């Protein structure tokens, strides 16, 4: 049985009983409106700097409508996503920097691919069969986002591109023992900027020893296109009847808790700020997406009335970490000198559930030799 089939069965098994009883603000193209814009679709590459003795590049993906997404192979990171607002003004809807130095200063995973295990593993320990593995501890005695030097801090390989198509494929070989994980894991991430302003992210991976894997993208969005604004007025809809409550270290208790009647119920669109004060620290929780199978489905929408922008999130993953930038404290500044303050971005990290390797009732994150890991997430932006 493939991991995905196994996941469907396990998810059905745990949810069914419950149901029975639950940039810099870019001024690029500023004078042009969305409708008069016809750009040349494709990809260009410029040098971005040097890390670990390797040259790092910045890839600019443009579609015919003029959306522009920039991605660096340092951390396979999305640095900028310039799209028009309802007045045609083009600014970036993700938090990022226009130079490599911003990323080397270790911002909290801005736009990066996180792994080998995105999110937390309690005490950095888990078992596969009779073998216990101990991972690097980097978050209050727990393991977070792949450890001290996770995928977000690695230089990824990039295969030669067809410069007339806005697609870039990045790959990384995570060696046996890296950050404590077993097995040589080859992971590839393909970013495609679609004609209808979707950023499709496709993940593939294979291992030579049983291991655990939970890769995601950690983009912080601010649909106003100006990170001097908070995201508290954005309206969020999450198709989710359950979330995974956490302890004080943000480790799941193992329970799937009904969102009904709680500040976690986003089945009807709600402003982020409406009930955030009732959630100690702010939202930083994994939502169990309502779904019958692991096909690509829309799970989340976010709208911002002021800019008219709408973000839709489609994924094959069973969950999404909704994080409201609670740990941003103004100590990091954007390339325009404006600090990234608390709640100036939100993340929708599509994923398997946190600490799954220690939670037998959660969908499995085990990947075995011979299996092909495959996962897709697409963020799509439009104006209303």
List of residues contacting ligand GLA (CB under 6 A) = 108-109, 119, 144, 250, 284, 321, 323, 327, 347, 349
Pairwise CA distance, residues 252 & 359, whole Å: 9
To ligand GLA, the closest distance from the beta carbon of 120 in angstroms equals 7
- 66 or 252: CB nearest ligand GLA: 252
- 66 or 118: CB nearest ligand GLA: 118
- 90 or 285: CB nearest ligand GLA: 285
To ligand GLA, the closest distance from the beta carbon of 276 in angstroms equals 15
- 57 or 340: CB nearest ligand GLA: 340
Q: Are 72 and 82 in contact (CB under 8 A)?
A: no
Active site residue 218: yes
Pairwise CA distance, residues 94 & 24, whole Å: 9
Q: How far is CA 372 from CA 44, 188, 368, in A?
A: 30, 11, 9
Pairwise CA distance, residues 113 & 214, whole Å: 10
List of residues 6+ apart from 196 with CB closer than 8 A: 65, 380, 382
Q: Active-site residue among 178, 179, 349, 352?
A: 349
To ligand GLA, the closest distance from the beta carbon of 347 in angstroms equals 5
To ligand GLA, the closest distance from the beta carbon of 229 in angstroms equals 20
- CA atoms within a 13 Å half-sphere pointing along the CA-CB vector of 130: 0
Active site residue 28: no
The conformation of residue 2, written as its DSSP 8-state character, comes to -
User: DSSP labels for 280-330?
Assistant: TTS-EEEEE---SSSS-EEEEEEEETTTTEEEEEEESSSEEEEE--TT--S
To ligand GLA, the closest distance from the beta carbon of 284 in angstroms equals 5
- 145 or 309: CB nearest ligand GLA: 145
Q: Active-site residue among 143, 178, 179, 218?
A: 218
- CA atoms within a 13 Å half-sphere pointing along the CA-CB vector of 97: 23
Residues belonging to the active site: 218, 349
């Amino acid at each position: 049985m493939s991991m995905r089939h196994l996941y469907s069965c396990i998810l059905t098994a745990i949810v069914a009983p419950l149901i029975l009883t639950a940039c810099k603000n870019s001024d690029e193209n500023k004078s042009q409106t969305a409708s008069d814009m016809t750009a040349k679709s494709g990809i260009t590459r410029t040098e971005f700097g040097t890390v670990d003795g390797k040259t790092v590049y910045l890839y600019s993906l443009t579609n015919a409508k003029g959306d522009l997404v920039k991605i660096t192979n340092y951390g396979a990171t999305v640095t900028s996503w310039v799209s028009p607002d309802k007045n045609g003004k083009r600014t970036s809807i993700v938090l990022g920097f226009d130079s490599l130095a911003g990323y080397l200063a270790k911002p909290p995973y801005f736009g990066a691919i996180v792994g080998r295990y995105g999110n937390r593993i309690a005490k950095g320990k888990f078992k596969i069969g009779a073998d216990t593995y101990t991972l690097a501890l980097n978050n209050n005695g727990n393991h977070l986002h792949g450890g001290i030097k996770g995928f977000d801090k690695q230089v990824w390989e990039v295969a030669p591109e067809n410069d007339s198509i806005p697609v870039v494929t990045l790959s990384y070989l995570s060696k046996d023992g890296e950050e404590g994980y077993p097995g040589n894991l080859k992971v590839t991430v393909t970013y495609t900027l679609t004609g209808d302003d979707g950023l499709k992210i496709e993940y593939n991976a294979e291992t030579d020893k049983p291991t655990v894997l939970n890769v995601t993208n950690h983009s912080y969005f601010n649909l106003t296109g100006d990170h001097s604004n908070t995201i508290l007025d954005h309206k969020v809809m999450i198709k989710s009847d359950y979330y995974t409550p956490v302890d004080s270290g943000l480790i799941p208790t193992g329970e799937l808790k009904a969102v009904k009647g709680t500040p976690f119920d986003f089945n009807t669109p709600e402003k982020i700020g409406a009930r955030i004060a009732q959630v100690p620290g702010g939202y930083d929780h994994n939502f169990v997406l309502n779904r019958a199978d692991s096909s690509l489905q829309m799970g989340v929408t976010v709208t911002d009335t002021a800019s008219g922008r709408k973000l839709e999130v489609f994924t094959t993953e069973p969950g999404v970490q909704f994080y409201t930038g609670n740990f941003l404290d103004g100590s990091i500044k954007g390339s325009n000198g404006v600090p990234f303050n608390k709640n100036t971005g939100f993340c929708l990290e599509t994923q398997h559930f946190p600490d799954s390797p220690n939670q037998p009732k959660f969908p499995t994150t085990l990947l075995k030799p011979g299996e092909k890991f495959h996962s897709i997430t697409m963020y799509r932006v439009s104006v209303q």
